[in-house]
Structures are given as structure tokens and as C-alpha cells.
Amino acid sequence: MASWKIVLEPGDEEKIVYTSFANARKYFALDASGSTVGIRFISEHNFADAFHEVSIRKDEDRVTRWGSNCKDPTNWEQCFWAPDQGGTQPQHILRNQKSMQAIRDSDIWFLLTDGEVPNSEVHTLAGLGQELGVFDCATVFLITSHTRNAPSHANVSVGITSYANCANALCLFKDQESNQIYVIASKGAFAALDQAEDHDTWEKLTSFPSEAKLIERINELEIYVPTAETRIATPTQLNLGEEWNTAHNNSQPTLVDIDMLLRAGVISDEDRDLLFADEALDALLLACKSRGKLNELRSFLLAQKVEQLTIKLEDVSGAAELIHLLADTEISGETRALLQSKLRDAHEANRKAYIAAQNDVQLQAIRDRNRKVDASLRALADSEKSGFTAEILSRRSNRARRAENISADSAVDVSVLDLEAPGFRGECQVCCGDNEVLSIALKVLSADAMAANTDNFALDFPLAAGRFEANMNILSSQCICFQCALFGRPGHSIYGEEISTVIPTLEYTGSNKLYIHQQLYKALNAGLKTGVPAMGQLFATILDRTLRVKKWAGAGFEDEKGSIDAEILQRRNALTWLLNNIISHLRVRETFNELGQWTTYPLALAWAAQDFQKEGLTSWCINYPVAGFMQLLRFGKTLNVFSDKIITNMKNTKFLHSFVSTFLARLYKNMGKPRDWTKPLLAILYVEFNDDLIPKDMGGDASILRSVPVFWNTLMKFMPAEDFLKGWTEEESKKMMSRIQILAFWLVFYQFAHTSAKTYFAQLRSKEPLAVVLLDTKAEVPENAVSEILLSIFIESKPEFKNEDAYTSHNNVVVPFENPFGASVLHCGAPDCGISFLPEEVSLKQIADGEMEWTPRLLDQVRKKRRDHLIDIFGILGKSEIEKESSETGLPGVTKVPSRPREVHNCMHIGTVKTWATLTRKEKRNLTGAIQSSWMGNCDEEDEKVIEEFVIKARKCICGVGRGNVYSATLERDIRAVLPSFLEVLKVGLAMEKKEGMCEDVSLYEFDFGENRVVRKIRWEVESLRRKGLV
């Protein structure tokens, strides 16, 4: 018997005394860490109370509270029931000597908790438990939490070591909300409690509505446990289960010393078969995981694997020499036909030799052995990736997972090919065989390209990675029979290209599937085995893209007149057959992640469709990168999994998601920078603009972009998404246009903080009532929604004014310059108004004669009269209060986009002045000359260009000030209209400065913006009037 097997001397069973559950002395260790505050600690307390209450020996029951330390055990009356023990470190239960003695003195100990602990804590518990003999005592382990997740997700890390090593153990789960108690697992004396056949859902578990019902069931089953004084010490060695012990046929269980086993090297065939059986392997994995020995177990398993004795399809009949002779273009047709006949015979002889080698019995035994080792390694990998959840206690789930893994890739010798399997056959242009298995040749990839195929992005999103430029050029146009491709010029195609591998057009099943995998790993990943699902989808994408892009593969032949070349047609048919075969037989995880069940690719796509219908914008397929999304839809349509209707819904939903994701990515990139990058988005909303980010209010719907082609072309520049935006009909585009426009409006004007698309959509639904309809692409967006939202930044079409008559009389009136900084401060500049802003006791003559002292009180009266008049004319009612700044001056207030302007006027005058001040003297002279030519009616094209450039600059300056109605459609017209009066004012200004001889050259006027004060402007205007003889 191997040295790592141990058969203990039989214990004296007659000396063991058993006691009933009710009579058993009990020790309760309650998790009192901070996370149990509230309902969880109360739930634990109630559980402990219920079992203590029915205990016959209440006075001998003990209780403690633990967390980041452990209190000394006490009786029920003295216990302070409070969750005040900090963190969650159950090792302190065993490190407290009095607590450890309480476990030794008890017949059952109860470990109650609510949470999980790190792996290091589990490993520490396992070591301490073995060292201190904790596992001798019968154990009840209770988890208190909620049942929102499946039973398999319940975390058992606190009690896993006790359950794994105790002979008598019970694992329970209590729902803190309903108080329902579920049996997760049980063994030994408690085995009869777990009667569930399926542990997938809570409903299928054995459960009890209360502690009382659970206790009642325990009493019915007459569960007895050994007493503390007579129980046998649990050996440190591992018991691998009933099947293992039965096979050894010893009087006592055949235990395993794990440390010795892991150092044993290669073990016998018989021991290996028994060790790899489901029950034994489950026990071994659980023990190694809880003790932190999975790495050592992996080394042990790898030591059991025999290096493959590779069976290759070899040239034993001289096929390579014949192919070489056929390469000579000078040989006669008769000789060529003879050589091709001999080559076909050589291929047949090579196939027969290959099939004979496959039937070797010794090789079959080696393959079977390695298959079992591979299955065990996969089970280890699953155990390594999983947390300490209840799933690892379910032997059924472990077995099922291993069975799925084996069926998923059927681990057999990858060099074995079934050449008689179904496949795509055709005529070979080398050997002229007319029913030969054809082949696809893959060219050599660069090291960088292969590295890209193995990075996280490629592994997570293989459909996107398949579209990498390097991958798009990997297929050779060579399409000859498999054997001619293998035995021709080594490492090269018939066209002289460097070839890394050759794929036969054989059915993608069984051993052929493994051969194809091996060759793809070699060609695409430099031999790195990244996983079948990712590799299969990557290669399928390459095949599909080649068929759609490459002329030599028949791309676009449907659109061309005439028949397709026979060679191209055969090549296209071979690629199409291989593609369809791969995506039909490829096995992947159902949910496209490591937690899903193994299934076929079509069924996984069916899950993706269901997930989309359920989750919409947060579904797996919608979150797939746009580069691979369209490929996903193509495969779904090819396999008849996605209907046209669901494809349309997916595309529309992805459009919304991709648009928002693109915006958020640009937002993150431009954080802290001006918002100029949003201009393309505004360009899909509005027709014309006064400035880059200021649309023009052209009156109602005329302001909104309605042209679908313009919208689409602009959008394509903002979100380059390869072919995602191509091929949409105008009707499809129009349907999405309103949704995208509304989304763009909300994003541009309200979204300033970076977030994820998922969070943005969730917040949008809570803030915007329309979002529910907008984000459901099957629902209809109300016809007026776009107009209401996009026009909400403009003044309403029929605003209410304080004085409607006054506004009407001033509407469309351009108020001229009467001082260097703008309109008159003495009176209203409208021709039909002229209302004075001066106090009644003040006359122009007094001002002109210098008799007035402008006290603050008088200046305030001027400002107030001007303010009241401006508000009467331009202030809009029915909105939020006009800003304090505006109410004090009557001048345009700040327009806080996306709020509507509160006044219909703007800072046109001062904007014009500031723009003029930025010009060079030469530019001022040119502009003056152009304006004068325009007055006289002989303005040429050059003059018009000069004026236009200035007007545009002034318009942008006015918008940059951001006050009043910057959206005005008449802004350019109004600027042009005030330019003559502006020049006249400048001439007067020059005259005042006693530059009489130069008053015609207004470019000489120098602005002092410190003079832009009411009192200074009053004096300026009065002096101007005096000079004109009007005072």
C-alpha cells in the first residue's frame, strides 16, 4: 500500500456514548462584528435562543461573541447581547483558550455568522482546527443573510473548514427577512436532514419556517451525537469518501495524508483512477482549497500527465516529391496527368498509414489517462476561481461542471484527425482530385499582432478583435486539398506566402475540433491557449470579414454582372462552409462569462437575445464594443437565432448606448477644457448658429435640423463606429433621429460630470419622465417632444411682456449709437419713442452750461428711468424673476443656457465696440471704406466680404458676452444697421479730441473703456448735441 495511505487501528465503538440533540451540551459562538448590527444579529440571537430554550441541560450551555477578538464564554444570563466586536476574524474563537475549552467540553458547537472572510483566514482556521482538535466536535454552522442570490452564492468561508473536516456537520442558512431556515449541506449524524435533490434554487432546498420546526424535525429523526468525553479524535488525515473506502476493502477507512500525497510524484494507474473519481476528487479539492494547497495539488496533477505520443499525418508514400515535380511548368500534359494520378495514390496510402497508427491500444490508454488529468486540472481551476460559496459543498454541481467541461472540449490527442469525417470537398488544383477535403491556409502573423490577440480586450471581446487589421489579412487565397497543402513546399503556400498552419475543411466536432484549436492557437496566439470560446469567435469573425471584404473570396460578386470564376466560387464556398460549421458547433459559456453553463454558440446567442429583451440598455450584447456588435448580429442572423425584429431593436438600442458612451468618453477626455468639442452635437440639433455653441432662433421648427442626410453625416463624424452607421435606410435613420437629438440636448446642456453609460441611463430615467419612452426603442416618441425640448432654450414664440404696446412699438427697431459705447443714456433711441431718462428738474441746457453737479442721487434717477423703460419694452413676464443685475440696470442679464433668455435684447452695441477695438488700423480703414461704399450703393464683392467678416466677429463677441437674447435671428442684420451711426459717433469723438483735420479717419479713435460710465456718457452726448447746435 502506498505510503500516503493510512488505515487507523479500529476504535473501541463500545466505549462511545451518544446523546440526543436536546440533551447535548451546546456552545454558541455568535458573530458580533460590526456588519451584524441590526436585523442580522437579532436573527442570530433568536436562533441561539430557540436551541438553548429546548436544551435539557441549559445550565451547561455556553455562549460567546466574536469578531476581531473573542469574548470569554459565559452562561446565558450573563451574556451581553450586542454586535460590538469589530471585524470578522473567526480564528480568535480558537485562539481564546477558554473558548477552545468550551468546544472540547461541549457535545455540539454552533458557529453563527453573517459574512465572508478572506482566503488567508480560511487557511488559518484550517491549520488551527487540525492542530487544536476542533473537528472532533459535532458542528452546526449558520449563515444569516438575504436570499436575493441563488443558494450557490451563499458565502460559507467562515465555516467551510469545520464542515470539510468534521465527521458530523450541518450547514444552515437563515433568511434574515422571512426567518426561513434552509439546509445547505449535512453529513454524518445530520445527513438525513438534507433531502433535496437539487440545490439550484431556494425553493428546492429542504427548509423550515422557524427554529421550532427545525428542532421538531431533528427530534423526529432521532439525531444523536457522541459526547465530549467519549468521542474519538478526528484524524488529521483526509477521508475521501465511501466509494474510495469501498474500493480498498479495509476494515477501517483508508485515509490520505495530503502532504505525503502531494509529494508522492507519479502514482499507480489504479490509485490514480480512484483518486480522480468524482467523490474522492471533490473531497481532495475542498481540503486543498481550505488549507491553501491548490498550487501543490496542481503540481501533483501535472506530474500524472504523460507527454503525448503525437500521431501525425506523415508523408510515407513520396507525395512531397511528386508535388515538387508538378511545380515544374515545363512538363508535358501527359506527364502532368501521370504525376497527378500517382500523387492521388500517395495521398490514399498516407491516409491508410495514419488511420492504422490511430488504433494503437497503448496510445489510446495514454490519451484516456491524460484526459482524466485534464478534467481534474479544470476542476482545480474552477475551484481556484470560485470563492468559498455554498456551491463547493454541492457534489452534484461539481460533477456537472466537470462533465460539461469534458463535453465542451473532449480532451483527446490534438494531433488525431478523422479524415473520413464529413467535410467540404472539392477539386484540388494541384493533384486534380475531384472529391478531396480542401484546406484554408493561415499566413504568419507578427509578434505584436499575436500579442494583441491574447490581451484582455481580445479575450473579452473576440468578435471585435477579429476585425483588427492584421487579422483581416491572415488568410491566404490558397484553397487546395489538405494533403497537398501539408506536403507541398514547407512553410509556404503555392503562391510563396509564409504559412503558419493549414486548417482542413472537416466538420468541427470531436477530435477534428481539437486539431483545429491547436492550429489556431499556433497561428493566432503564438501557441498560447487562451480558451476555445474566444479563439473560435475570433477565427469565425476573420472568416466572415474575409468573405465580405476580399475580392479573391468573392466579396461583392452578387452586385456584379456575369458569372463568378469557378476557382473563386469554390474558395468562397469552402470558407462559407467552414464558417457555418464552426459557429454551429462552437461551445461557449451560456452567459459569455466564466459562471455560465457550457452550451453551443447558437444557444448562447439565444440567451443573449433573451437577456436583451429583459435588460435592454444594460444587457450583455448592448455593452459589447461597437466594433464587434455588428458581427454579433450577423452571426445571430446567420444561425437564425435573431429575428429581423430583434435585430432592429438591438441596433436601435445599441445606437443609443454607443452615442451616450461616445459622449461620456469625449467628456472625460476634455474635462476642465472648453466645451467646443460639443459643437458637432449641436450641429445635429439646429440649422444655423450665431456662434459655435449658440444656435440661431429662426422661429419655431425652422430652427431645428430636419434633414436626415445632414444629421447622419454629421453624426458619423462625431461617433466613428466603423460600419455600424452604414446601411441604415432613411426610414430607420429618421426613427432614431428624434431620440438622438433629445439625448444630445440633455447631454450637452446638463451632463458635466463623467460617469458610466449604465449610471447615466439610470439617472436619466429618474430625472426625465420622457426618458422611459425615449430609451425604449419599441415605443413611439411623441411628435412634439423634439420641438418642445430643443426650442426650450429660445424665447417662446408668443412671450408675454410687461407692456405689450411698448414692446410692439420698439420691435424690429434698431437703436443707433449716440455715444462711443452704445445707445443714448439720455433718452430712448427708438425713433417713435424718445422718452427722456433725465430727472424732471434737469435740462440739457443746464448740463451743457456746466450748471449740473451729478450727485449719486441724480445718477441713480437716470439709471432707474432707463431701467424701467428697458424692462417695460424688453423684459419677459411669466418666467422666473429677472435677475437682480438686470432689475437694477435694465441691461441684458446673463443667459444661463439651457434656460430661456429673460429679455429680447442683447449686448449688441458694446459687442460691436469691443470687436472694433480688436482690429488693426488698416482693418478699421478698410471696414470704414466698405461701409461708406455700401451707403453710396456701390459696394463691391470685396467690400461686402470685409463687412461680412466684421459682422461675424461682432456676432461671436456678442454671443461670448452671453447676455440677453444671443439666439436672435436678426443679430447680423442689426449689427449692419448700427455701423453707420457707430462711425458717425467716432467722427464726433475725434472732433471732441480736437483732431479736426483727421475726423474723417475714424481708425485713429482710441477707446478708453474706463469712460464707459453713465456720467461720462451723459456729458459726451450733451457735448455732441451742443456741437450740432441742438442744445
- What DSSP letter does each residue of 260-313 carry, written as one string? HHHTS-S--HHHHHHHTSHHHHHHHHHHHHHTT-HHHHHHHHHHTPPPP-----
Mean pLDDT: which of 41-55, 110-124, 288-302, 415-429 is highest?
A: 41-55
- 43-57, 95-109, 719-733, 989-1003: segment of lowest average pLDDT: 989-1003
- 10 Å CB burial of residue 726 (0-12, 13-18, 19+) is exposed
CB 479 within 8 A of CB 571: yes
pLDDT digits (tens, 9 = 90+) for 359-379: 765 677 777 888 888 888 888
Residue 465 clears pLDDT 60, i.e. is over it? yes
CA neighbours closer than 13 Å in the CB half-sphere of residue 495? 11
pLDDT digits (tens, 9 = 90+) for 301-354: 888 887 655 677 888 888 888 888 888 888 888 888 998 899 889 888 888 888
Please name each of the domains of the chain with its CATH number. Answer: 1-12+235-304+367-392 (no CATH), 17-226 (3.40.50), 307-359+417-585 (no CATH), 643-775 (no CATH), 808-861+908-1031 (no CATH)
Q: How confident is the model at residue 599 (pLDDT cuts 50, 70, 90)?
A: very high
Q: Which long-range contacts (CB under 8 A, 24 or more apart) does 1025-1031 make?
A: 1025/844, 1025/848, 1026/848, 1027/988, 1027/991, 1027/992, 1031/844, 1031/845, 1031/847, 1031/848
Cell numbers representing residue 255 in the block: 485515509
Nearest Cα neighbor of 141 from 168, 115, 163 is 163
Q: How confident is the model at residue 131 (pLDDT cuts 50, 70, 90)?
A: confident
pLDDT score recorded for residue 804: 80
pLDDT score recorded for residue 825: 92
Would you call 153 helix, strand, or coil by DSSP? helix
Residue 950 clears pLDDT 50, i.e. is over it? yes
Cα 80 versus chain centre, distance:
47
pLDDT score recorded for residue 223: 93
Residue 882 clears pLDDT 80, i.e. is over it? no
- What is the β-pairing status of strands 138-145 and 108-113? parallel
Cα 59 versus chain centre, distance:
58
What predicted TM-score, i.e. pTM, was given to this entire model? 0.66
pLDDT score recorded for residue 89: 83
pLDDT score recorded for residue 254: 87
Please report, as a single letter, which amino acid is at residue 87. Answer: G
What would the mean pLDDT of 898-902 be, rounded to a whole number? 87
Torsion, Cα of 585, 590, 593, 594 (10° steps): -90
Nearest Cα neighbor of 260 from 2, 539, 562 is 2
| Length of the chain counted residue by residue | 1031
pLDDT score recorded for residue 595: 76
The whole-angstrom separation of Cα 594 and Cα 150 is 16
Please report, as a single letter, which amino acid is at residue 456. Answer: N
CB 69 within 8 A of CB 56: no
Q: How confident is the model at residue 6 (pLDDT cuts 50, 70, 90)?
A: confident
CA neighbours closer than 13 Å in the CB half-sphere of residue 990? 17
- What is the β-pairing status of strands 108-113 and 425-426? unpaired
Residue 886 clears pLDDT 60, i.e. is over it? no
pLDDT score recorded for residue 968: 93
Listed in order, strand segments (DSSP E) in 412-553 are: 425-426, 436-437, 439-443, 499-504
pLDDT digits (tens, 9 = 90+) for 64-85: 998 888 999 999 888 888 888 8
How many other C-beta atoms are found inside a 10 Å radius of the C-beta of residue 996? 8
The b-or-e profile of 451-464 (16+ CB within 10 A means b, else e) is ebbbeeebbebbbb
Mean pLDDT: which of 246-255, 304-313, 430-439, 525-534 is highest?
A: 430-439
CB 657 within 8 A of CB 623: yes
pLDDT score recorded for residue 783: 85
- Say which residues have a Cβ less than 8 Å from residue 970's Cβ, sequence separation at least 6: 812
Mean pLDDT: which of 205-209, 562-566, 881-885 is highest?
A: 205-209
pLDDT score recorded for residue 1028: 85
How many other C-beta atoms are found inside a 10 Å radius of the C-beta of residue 678? 21
Q: Dihedral sign, CA of 500, 506, 509, 511?
A: negative
Please report, as a single letter, which amino acid is at residue 508. Answer: Y
pLDDT score recorded for residue 985: 94
Cα 328 versus chain centre, distance:
57
The whole-angstrom separation of Cα 84 and Cα 910 is 69
Cell numbers representing residue 929 in the block: 471704406
Residue 382 clears pLDDT 70, i.e. is over it? yes
Percentage of the residues of the chain whose pLDDT score is greater than 90: 46
The whole-angstrom separation of Cα 374 and Cα 305 is 8
Residue by residue, what is the 3-state secondary structure of 849-873?
Answer: CCCCCCCHHHHHHHHHHHHHHHHHH
- What is the β-pairing status of strands 689-691 and 694-695? antiparallel
What would the mean pLDDT of 152-161 be, rounded to a whole number? 68
Residue 957 clears pLDDT 90, i.e. is over it? yes
Element (H, E) at 6: strand 5-7
CB 526 within 8 A of CB 441: no
Residue 202 clears pLDDT 90, i.e. is over it? no
- 10 Å CB burial of residue 765 (0-12, 13-18, 19+) is middle
What would the mean pLDDT of 3-17 be, rounded to a whole number? 77
What is the chain's mean pLDDT, rounded?
86
Residue 708 clears pLDDT 90, i.e. is over it? yes
Q: How confident is the model at residue 958 (pLDDT cuts 50, 70, 90)?
A: very high
Cis previous bond, 898, omega within 30 = yes
The whole-angstrom separation of Cα 341 and Cα 333 is 12
Higher pLDDT, 1031 or 90: 90
Q: How confident is the model at residue 887 (pLDDT cuts 50, 70, 90)?
A: low
What would the mean pLDDT of 791-803 be, rounded to a whole number? 86
Residue 401 clears pLDDT 50, i.e. is over it? no
- Say which residues have a Cβ less than 8 Å from residue 350's Cβ, sequence separation at least 6: 313, 314, 315, 316, 317, 319, 483, 487
What would the mean pLDDT of 755-766 be, rounded to a whole number? 93
What would the mean pLDDT of 941-959 be, rounded to a whole number? 94
- 10 Å CB burial of residue 327 (0-12, 13-18, 19+) is exposed
Nearest Cα neighbor of 927 from 956, 896, 948 is 948
The whole-angstrom separation of Cα 126 and Cα 1 is 28
How many other C-beta atoms are found inside a 10 Å radius of the C-beta of residue 254? 21
Residue 402 clears pLDDT 50, i.e. is over it? no
pLDDT score recorded for residue 408: 30
Residue 502 clears pLDDT 90, i.e. is over it? yes
Which residues make beta-bridge pairs with 142? 112, 172
Nearest Cα neighbor of 575 from 691, 479, 460, 667 is 479
pLDDT score recorded for residue 618: 94
